[in-house]
Amino acid sequence: MNGVAVGHKIQCKSEYTTLKNVLVVKPSFMRITEIINETQKHYENNNINIPLALQQHEAFVEVLEANGANVSELQAVSSLPEQVFTRDIGFTIHDELFVATMNEQVRKSEVNTVKAFLQENEISYQEGFPGSIEGGDVVVDGSTIWVGNSGRTSQVAIQELQKRLPAYTVEPLSLRQDILHLDCVFNIISEEVALVYPPAFTKDDLRKLEARFQLIHVTEEEQFYMGPNVLSIGDGKIVSLSQNKRLNRILSAHGFRVLSVDFSEIIKSGGSFRCCTLTLERS
């Protein structure tokens, strides 16, 4: 893993162009402490095998680096069991980086590590949202920014984001109560194609997505195993969970190159590949 150049360029206009710079945290202290989502409830009794989680995370990082991404690592902190999910603590929209306002007490201090990193690398950022907003709810689609109105991202924060981004259309999507973040049920994988878990959305919001994208539907089981939470890394390449075999076949049939990675230990805490990457720059 390399460092980021001082004053590094911040850029993310989509979810699928070439991934150039990204922030991760090793799952060194990952564990399910207080149940904050449905997936954790399911795995509460067998919890996280940390050596296996570390091995799987390392294999994922190797795939990113082998495909040209520069991967920087934030310091893992023993008191932050959810820290592996760096996507939530910040989000890049075009040339602006925003530090999130976390909703759950167990995660609030995570923003301190990312702010220290950004300051050290002279990367400017915005923060201080009213209510709460987390990066897993923010999906960039050119001049449209889709934002999940979830238990983690409030209406007041979405309105504030629109205020700060007058040149863009911030499009809220109401999520079913048990859904953690937007990227657990929706992910844009090319200019025309997106993955979606339809039951998570209202009829009106689903119609908005159908009008904009060719949608690949994921099943309930695939959603439980974080099927939509793939990571597009450019040139049609998608990092996807090896266990989601049906979905991976469909992606391949649509012309995507699927890079299968076993992330079975990480997903026990309710997140997968997109959740584990805070994008700083895409080409």
The residues that are catalytic are 181, 275
Distances (CA, A) of 258 to 66, 200, 268: 14, 25, 22
Which amino acid belongs to residue 22?
V
Amino acid at the residue 202: T
Q: Are 15 and 232 in contact (CB under 8 A)?
A: yes
Amino acid letter for position 163: K
Token pair in block for residue 281: 């720059």
Residue 196 parent element (H or E): strand 193-196
Amino acid at 146: W
| CB distance 232 to 189 below 8 Å | yes
Q: Beta-strand (E) ranges in 38-182?
A: 70-73, 90-93, 96-99, 138-141, 144-149, 169-174
3-state secondary structure of 277: coil
In whole angstroms, give the CA distance from residue 188 to residue 185: 11
